[in-house]
Structure 1
Amino acid sequence: MLRPRPAAARPAGARPAGARPVGVVLAGAVLAGITAVVGCRVVGSDAVTPVPQLLSFLPWLAVPTAVCLLVALAARCRVLAGWAAVLLAVTAWYSRPHGPESTPADGRPVAAPLRVLAANVEFGGATRELLRVIRRERPDLVFVTECDPACVRTLGTAYPHRAQVAGEGSTGSVILSVHPLTPGPALPSLMGMPGATARIAGREVRLRLAHPMPPLPGQVAVWKRELGLLRDDAARHARGGPLLVAGDFNATQDHAAFRAVLDAGALHDAARLAGAFRTPSWPQGAGLLPPYAQIDHVLVGGDDLSVRGARFLDVPGTDHRALLADLDLHARR
């Protein structure tokens, strides 16, 4: 009678047939999460918490994706390696600058270069340090968010003209100018977003300070609505002459709601045009976590503004870096 052959003994430490290394399983889980975030970027959706927060990390997601690719290659897992390679390529594609490489402005500049500074002083805590920056850099226009009444009084000593929304903590904001200002209506937002018109070299330049709510849990709808207010405001005014929209947008180019602001009003990001694209501005001085997201912007609109340069400045006492942009205002064509 034939007896069944006994199964060969499995070497000690060998995996059961069909088993996967723990590293491959973990890499698959990481890739699944990254795929969900990148997928939202591909379809142009900010979705819900925590997607807006994770979209702020989009360029940095290439790092764990590359690690997963190396794990897959080491494990000779072709499906996982292909998945990681495709995801890495898509992430790199969407990390490119958004929008044109220049503004349509041409012709002779009508005045000296226009210097613009956008800064968040974090509940007024960095007011004195910002005043030192202002005295050193001498900007013509300053857009200050989270500027309480004491902050406005201090910074106002350096400028003859202002337009503000008075408020404590994060709700106060002010536009300061060496040029005459005509204050305009503020947008109906939870934090101050004042508007004004500046008279510069005989030209009217419309100004809007941006400070929508951040996409905190339970506040994503408010964040989208307030970025929508900025989008609609820019669309109304961008065809009427030069337009500047500057401040803390609490959004990067990887957020659909911010790209809509750029696209609807023919606005251009000064940092992108000046070669400072993807320079992180937040969170500054946050312990071991370095700045990773550019959420502070100076946007230029109309056909009469061009960008000479832009640089980010460290301001002690706040979790934001300030953005200094040098612009040219051109003669009307």
Structure 2
Amino acid sequence: MDRVQTAEHGETAEPVNDSPAEATPEPTPEPTPESASGPVPDPPPHRPRHRVTAWAAGLLMVVPALVTACRALNTDGMTPVPQLLSILPWLTVPAALALLLAAVTRRRILTFVAVLVLGTTAWSTVPYMPQAVIPYGLPLARVKVIAANVEFGQGTASLVEAVRRERPQLVFVSECDGACRSTLTRTFAEALPHYASVEGEGSVGSILLSSYPLRDWRMIPAAMGMPGATAEIAGVPVRLQLTHPLPPVPGQVYLWKRELGRVKDTVAAQRTGPMLVAGDFNASQDHAAFREILAAGGLQDAARRANRSRTPTWPTEGPPLPPFVQIDHVLVRDFSVREVRFLDLAGSDHRAVLADLDLRGPR
């Protein structure tokens, strides 16, 4: 309530309002985090999103990028590139997984690189030579060819059955040991009486059987037998060459390249006239050394002409992997291709290649 205080000398004082309702309260400071719960800890350091995922995507791209680059540069490089080139089409799997992980991270540059790697890897699996229309002369003779690796002679019995069933005029046999050679020459003494061979055990022996007379026998120097000869077919000389270079295992890639180089030199020495080069090349269409043979001899892969260039021929025996690469080939010059089939051979880790061809006259 208001009251009037009287000062000395009779002066009247101003009324004083001491009502609590009318007083102006001072602001009360809010409690700070320090006063409420002690010192505030430092915030955790900022970590980029999906760092582990980004690293995984990058690592998955390394092998496809390396192998595809070697393919584009037309080089087989050194171990492990020749071995990885054998599975080039399968490298689209890690490349695609890398793209998926890169997309999850939402990093534009990483995703762009992943798209580039996947695209170039997929492009590299496109068949290596164009399906151009090639002018040929009139057909002179129909020729069936079988190229087979019988794995140290173990697939001989199965090959005998295939030859009886298919009745080819030419048979190129790799890894044909003494017993294999004796069986084939005895069994087909009438149907395929002519042959050129390199005798040896295990993987060394090879034989070329023919229903046509053979002459001008020659052998390419190599660790495993690679005989060659000239056959007279419909009055036309046709050069025949069996191939079986060493495989590109670690430690002997240089030997593999050297022996494929000798095959290239052999076919380059005869640039004109019909030619058949067949056998186990231990190389696929993705190896530069194999493509150099095609270019040097003006040859074409019969499987490519028949749209079968990605049909695997090795390895066919047991786990852990199914056949994944075509290393057995029939290469032709001045032949047209009717059909190419692949025959399973019990006892061998290779499929045989059966090519049904027409020898053509001059253009």
TM range, normalised to the smaller chain?
over 0.9
Report the equivalent of 2:20: none
CA distance in 2 between counterparts of 1:171 and 1:36 reads 34
CA distance in 2 between counterparts of 1:222 and 1:22 reads 42
CA distance in 2 between counterparts of 1:144 and 1:92 reads 34
CA distance in 1 between counterparts of 2:220 and 2:348 reads 25
- Within the alignment, does 1:137 sit opposite 2:169 as a pair? no
- Within the alignment, does 1:192 sit opposite 2:225 as a pair? yes
Report the equivalent of 2:314: 282
CA distance in 2 between counterparts of 1:221 and 1:201 reads 40
Report the equivalent of 2:269: 236
Residue 32 of structure 1, CA deviation: 1.6
SS at match of 1:311: strand
- Within the alignment, does 1:87 sit opposite 2:117 as a pair? yes
Report the equivalent of 1:120: 149
Match of 1:17 among 47, 58, 81: 47
Whether the 8 Å CA contact 2:143–2:356 is kept in 1: the answer is: yes
Whether the 8 Å CA contact 1:103–1:305 is kept in 2: the answer is: no
Tell me which amino acid in the other structure corresponds to 2:275: L
Whether the 8 Å CA contact 2:172–2:279 is kept in 1: the answer is: yes
Residue 330 of structure 1, CA deviation: 1.4
- Within the alignment, does 1:52 sit opposite 2:82 as a pair? yes
Deviates further, 100-109 or 129-138: 100-109
CA distance in 2 between counterparts of 1:82 and 1:226 reads 41
SS at match of 1:237: coil
Whether the 8 Å CA contact 2:313–2:342 is kept in 1: the answer is: yes
Residue 148 of structure 1, CA deviation: 0.7
CA distance in 2 between counterparts of 1:77 and 1:100 reads 38
- Within the alignment, does 1:312 sit opposite 2:345 as a pair? no
SS at match of 1:307: strand
Runs of 5+ unmatched residues, structure 2: 1-31
Report the equivalent of 2:27: none
Percent identity reads 53
Residue 305 of structure 1, CA deviation: 1.3
Whether the 8 Å CA contact 2:198–2:206 is kept in 1: the answer is: yes
CA distance in 2 between counterparts of 1:43 and 1:106 reads 33
SS at match of 2:269: helix
Match of 1:64 among 69, 89, 94: 94
Cα RMSD (Å) of the superposition? 1.9
Residue 40 of structure 1, CA deviation: 1.1
For residues 194-209 of structure 1, the aligned pairs below 5 Å read 194-209=227-242
CA distance in 2 between counterparts of 1:56 and 1:144 reads 22
Q: Deviations over 1:23-59 (max 9, x none)?
A: 3212211212221111111111111111100011111
Whether the 8 Å CA contact 2:158–2:346 is kept in 1: the answer is: yes
Match of 1:263 among 281, 295, 306: 295
SS at match of 2:219: coil
CA distance in 2 between counterparts of 1:72 and 1:99 reads 33
SS at match of 1:238: coil
Tell me which amino acid in the other structure corresponds to 1:246: A
Report the equivalent of 1:175: 208
Residue 16 of structure 1, CA deviation: 4.6
Tell me which amino acid in the other structure corresponds to 1:62: T
Whether the 8 Å CA contact 1:267–1:300 is kept in 2: the answer is: yes
CA distance in 2 between counterparts of 1:194 and 1:136 reads 25
Whether the 8 Å CA contact 2:136–2:362 is kept in 1: the answer is: no
Runs of 5+ unmatched residues, structure 1: none
CA distance in 2 between counterparts of 1:81 and 1:133 reads 51
Normalising by structure 1, report the TM-score: 0.92
Q: Deviations over 1:284-330 (max 9, x none)?
A: 123131111110000002xx311111111111111111000011011
Q: Deviations over 1:112-136 (max 9, x none)?
A: x210000000010000111001111
Report the equivalent of 1:251: 283
Match of 2:251 among 212, 218, 221: 218
CA distance in 2 between counterparts of 1:305 and 1:242 reads 7
Whether the 8 Å CA contact 2:49–2:105 is kept in 1: the answer is: no
Whether the 8 Å CA contact 1:198–1:205 is kept in 2: the answer is: yes
Match of 1:110 among 97, 122, 140: 140
Match of 1:151 among 180, 186, 196: 180
